[in-house]
Amino acid sequence: MQRSDLINYFRRVRQTTEDICQPLEIEDHVIQPITDVSPPKWHLGHTSWFYEAIFLDKHIDNYQPYHPQYAYVFNSYYESLGVRVDRNHRGYLSRPTVKEALQYRGYITDRMCELIESVDEAKWPEFSKLLVLAANHEQQHQELLVTDIKYILAVNPLLPGYLEESPAAVKSRSGQLPNTEFLHFEGGDYDIGYQGEEFYYDNERPVHKVRLDDFKLQNRLITNREYLEFIEDGGYKDFRYWLSDAWETVRTEGWKAPLYWRKIDGDWYEFTMSGLQKLNPEAPLCHVSYYEADAFAQWANKRLPTEAEWEVAARLSGVESDGANFFDTQNLHPVPLSTATGQSKQNLHQMLGDVWEWTGSAYLPYPGYRKAEGPLGEYNGKFMVNQMVLRGGCCATPRDHIRLSYRNFFYPDACWPFAGFCLARTTA
């Protein structure tokens, strides 16, 4: 990549982060209602500190940190980069202010652009590769920002909206979708993992063969209407559908419906980025945990696809990101499959965008995976236990951030991400 192209790309990523926070009140930037949800102000600072720690501090002689305490305040989990505020204490910090965090951002953006222009030609290949990684890191925080902002607004009894009103695509109600189809895929030995020449995360490699039996995959996402049937059939009250750890969670947390659903006077509503809205039955189900996805699958006498099945099916079906409902559409909510599309039956729908899709695969290293040395080694590898893989990105993911080989991961009880699922079947 040319230096000027990289500067443009870098500045665009930086700007997007700030754009996301633009509709917020200052007060919205500060709070952390649960440990998983970081204050937006922290995201603003963290994504600046990251460049400071990884680039400026390494490439500039006698670099003086912008502020001596910011490394402590804005480090997330990088043990190799020093001590830091406890993760669940990020909401206890009123300073630096939002204004100061934005000044910090501006300073870092400018210094980084100077550095991009001035770094030695000899270091350029490695430097530019690392910078693309860092920009992808910032894009992940863009998605987290949207996800966390939604939670911050949803816990508020005033139920404030982030968008002025719901985009048309979100509201469309074109009649009930026809029943879903299960598409057939042949078993065999398939290559899995990233095989291109562009950026990828280390957890997408090595490319390796997996053996799949024949399987069938649902041609679209599970909808709110379908999930409502599960609820109305007593799904949250019957232990038989739930994994043991899941049932424990249902009981101790008192789960009775997806995170953002509310039943008011007999009608179901859903908290969205446009505030509380009547539940759209044809829209894809969103904000469920792995536990809920798996329980629904048990109830439906099906199962979740493995991550390998997901990737193979997507690749064989020629799934592409064009036209998918990513962050760039600014819907910030999954959109119903149009009846026309649904009836075409020719292909796999909604694999990319809308909602992350839970798979039945644990997040583990691919065969032959070795984590990197230094702070980048803390990026993916150290999380490879206790979490489940999700695929396909969501309506809060930047379009140019995702790939078919992209592996996201969350604990199986997480329900604040934009996550849903489709089902699979083994063909006997």
Binding residues for a copy of itself (CB under 8 A):
25-31, 33, 41, 67, 69, 72-73, 77, 79-80, 85, 89, 91-98, 152-153, 155-158, 160, 189, 208-211, 213, 239-240, 242-247, 290-291, 294, 303, 306, 360-362, 364-365, 367-368, 377-378, 382-386, 388, 412, 426, 428
Q: How far is the CB of 377 from a copy of itself (least distance, A)?
A: 7
Q: Which is nearer to a copy of itself, 74 or 127 (CB)?
A: 74
**Smallest distance from the beta carbon of 242 to a copy of itself, in angstroms?**
7
CA atoms within 13 A on the CB side of 249: 16
Q: How far is the CB of 124 from a copy of itself (least distance, A)?
A: 28
Q: Do the beta carbons of residue 157 and residue 266 sit within 8 Å?
A: no
Partners of 184 in the β-ladder: 216
Report cis status (omega within 30 of 0) of the bond before 334. no
Nearest to 147 by CA among 422, 421, 408: 408
- What DSSP character marks residue 197? S
Residue 409 C-beta: closest distance to a copy of itself, Å = 11
Kindly state the smallest distance separating residue 156's Cβ from a copy of itself, in Å: 5
Q: Are strands 419-420 and 356-362 parallel, antiparallel or unpaired?
A: parallel
- Closer residue to a copy of itself (CB): 143 or 307: 307
Nearer Cβ to a copy of itself (35/346): 35
Provide, rounded to whole angstroms, the least separation between the CB of residue 66 and a copy of itself.
Answer: 13
Pick the closer one to a copy of itself by CB: 1 or 159: 159
Please report how close the Cβ of residue 63 comes to a copy of itself at its closest, in angstroms: 20
Nearer to a copy of itself, 219 or 298 (CB): 298
Cβ 137 to a copy of itself shortest distance, Å: 16
**Angle (deg, nearest 10), helices 3-21 and 40-51:** 160
Helix (H), strand (E) at residue 361:
strand 356-362
| Least distance to a copy of itself, CB of residue 321, Å | 28
Upstream peptide bond of 417 is cis (omega within 30 degrees of 0): no
Please name which of 2, 1, 14, 5 lies closest in space to residue 111, comparing C-alpha atoms.
14
Nearer to a copy of itself, 306 or 408 (CB): 306
Q: How far is CA 256 from CA 71, 235, 293, in A?
A: 41, 9, 14
Alpha carbon of residue 372 to chain centroid: 23
Please give the Cα distance from 356 to 363 (Å, whole number): 15
Nearer to a copy of itself, 127 or 194 (CB): 194
Identify which of residues 298 and 350 has a Cβ nearer to a copy of itself in the complex.
298
Task: For residue 362, count other CB atoms closer than 10 A to its CB.
Answer: 15
- List Cβ neighbours of 373 (8 Å cut-off, separation of 6 or more): none
Token pair for 107: 């300073």
The span from the CA of 186 to the CA of 390, in Å, is 22
Q: Which residues pair with 272 in a beta bridge?
A: 275
Strand partners, 262: 269
